[in-house]
């Protein structure tokens, strides 16, 4: 199924939003589009929406498996506007959003679907899930100058930390059950990244409801959606492994010549398995076993 614009989809394609969870893949360039779509189909999403420029090709095997929406995802806040427009048409439905060359991992994802995980999360009276965006990068930039390689993917095994999130409306006191998380390439190359884009936390899984709005810092205007856990115990968290920052650093003329390699003494190969992320503390199962 293909729609010529987001307006056309929201007018004629709302049937695709009646059952969740639904994945929104915001395609910014032609890097690893097919692998991103296939990965999220394998996660068990009821619908996978590919919002991508009309000029981009979609592999033949994905026709009929994903819903293609011709749409240009621009830099800045437009991604939030796009997600909000879809969310407004899907009240009560679990939604997920990411960009191409990003891949969702959650505890035990090799044997359990994302729907099973969200059913458990819903039973714990949670309407959103914190995800950490974990940077991936190719070890050999001479072989992979755009820093993207599924076979040669590496990540940082340490260097992640959290800071209290101040509340401007409460004299700067920390917000309840909210933290700002940092690490990865955005921490190691912070001189090339604006301060407001250095966080690695994203509320990428959420249940839509009337009046809810995603902000351009990947948080919502309902503060409970931004919490990492409920008041009584720890909850599930997930991870999005992402080549997006590495791509940007190598494409940006202001940083590309300063970076000969992303690897350092804390780099390890990514095993493409949830157990590795659990062992590194980059997501947690909460009460789900």
Counting every residue written for the chain, the total comes to 289
Respond yes or no on whether the N-terminal peptide bond of residue 21 is cis (omega within 30° of 0). Answer: yes
Helix (H, G, I), strand (E, B) or coil at 203: strand
User: Tokens representing 217?
Assistant: 């810092």
Distances (CA, A) of 212 to 1, 84, 169, 207, 281: 28, 8, 20, 9, 30
pLDDT on residue 153? 98
pLDDT on residue 171? 85
Residues contacting residue 205 through CB under 8 Å, at least 6 positions apart? 21, 94, 95, 96, 118, 128, 129, 131, 238
Domain end residue (candidates: 100, 134, 161) = 100
Q: What burial class does residue 49 get, using C-beta atoms within 10 Å of its C-beta: 0-12 exposed, 13-18 middle, 19+ buried?
A: buried
125 and 88 together in one domain: no
Give the number of domains in the chain. Answer: 2
pLDDT on residue 74? 62
48 and 187 together in one domain: no
Distance of alpha carbon 121 from the chain centroid: 18
pLDDT on residue 72? 87
Residues contacting residue 58 through CB under 8 Å, at least 6 positions apart? 33, 34, 50, 52, 66, 68
pLDDT tens for 159-197 read 999 999 999 888 889 999 999 999 999 999 999 999 989
Tell me which of 172 and 123 has the higher pLDDT: 123
Alpha-carbon radius of gyration of the chain: 18
User: Which of 20, 243, 39, 269 lies closest to 155, judged by CA?
Assistant: 269
- Does residue 261 carry a pLDDT above 90? yes
Alpha-carbon distance 87 to 91, whole Å? 7
Helix (H, G, I), strand (E, B) or coil at 245: helix
136 and 276 together in one domain: yes
Tell me which residue range forms the domain holding 134.
Answer: 102-289
Distance of alpha carbon 163 from the chain centroid: 20
User: Tokens representing 230?
Assistant: 């409920």
User: Tokens representing 14?
Assistant: 């709302």
Domain end residue (candidates: 34, 65, 100) = 100
pLDDT, mean over the chain: 94
- Does residue 7 carry a pLDDT above 90? yes
85 and 109 together in one domain: no
14 and 155 together in one domain: no
116 and 178 together in one domain: yes
69 and 210 together in one domain: no
pLDDT on residue 73? 72
Tell me which of 77 and 161 has the higher pLDDT: 161
Residue 152 DSSP class: T
Domain end residue (candidates: 76, 100, 124) = 100
Tell me which of 100 and 172 has the higher pLDDT: 100
Report residue 100's pLDDT band, with 50, 70 and 90 as the boundaries. Answer: very high
User: Tokens representing 241?
Assistant: 């492994």
207 and 285 together in one domain: yes
Contact indicator for 203, 241 with CB cutoff of 8 Å: no
What predicted TM-score, i.e. pTM, was given to this entire model? 0.95
pLDDT on residue 232? 87
52 and 165 together in one domain: no
| Helix or strand (DSSP H, E) at 156 | strand 153-156
92 and 210 together in one domain: no
Give the whole-number percent of the chain exceeding pLDDT 70.
Answer: 99
90 and 188 together in one domain: no
Helix (H, G, I), strand (E, B) or coil at 35: helix
227 and 279 together in one domain: yes
């Amino acid at each position: 199924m293909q729609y010529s614009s987001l307006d056309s989809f929201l007018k004629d394609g709302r049937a695709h939003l009646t059952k969740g969870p639904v994945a929104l893949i915001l395609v910014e360039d032609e890097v690893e589009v097919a692998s991103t779509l296939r990965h999220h189909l394998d996660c068990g999403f009821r619908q996978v929406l590919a919002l991508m420029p009309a000029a981009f090709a979609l592999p033949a095997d994905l026709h009929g498996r994903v819903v293609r929406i011709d749409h240009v995802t621009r830099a800045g806040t437009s991604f939030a506007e796009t997600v909000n427009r879809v969310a407004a048409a899907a009240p009560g439905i679990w939604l997920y959003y990411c960009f191409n060359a990003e891949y969702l991992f959650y505890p035990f994802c090799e044997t359990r679907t994302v729907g099973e995980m969200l059913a458990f999360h819903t039973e714990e009276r949670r309407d959103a899930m914190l995800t950490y965006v974990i940077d991936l990068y190719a070890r050999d930039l001479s072989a992979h100058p755009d820093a993207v390689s599924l076979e040669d993917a590496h990540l940082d095994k340490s260097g992640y930390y959290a800071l209290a999130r101040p509340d401007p409306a409460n004299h700067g006191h920390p917000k309840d059950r909210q933290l700002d998380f940092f690490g990865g390439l955005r921490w190691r190359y912070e001189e090339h990244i604006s301060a407001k884009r250095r966080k690695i936390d994203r509320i990428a899984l959420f249940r839509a409801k009337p009046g809810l709005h995603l902000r351009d810092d990947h948080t919502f205007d309902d503060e409970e959606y931004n919490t990492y856990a409920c008041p009584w115990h720890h909850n599930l968290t997930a991870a999005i492994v992402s080549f997006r920052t590495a791509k940007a650093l190598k494409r940006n003329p202001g940083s590309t010549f300063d970076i000969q390699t992303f690897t350092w003494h804390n780099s390890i190969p990514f095993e493409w398995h949830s157990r590795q992320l659990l062992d590194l503390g980059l997501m947690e199962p909460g009460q789900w076993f």
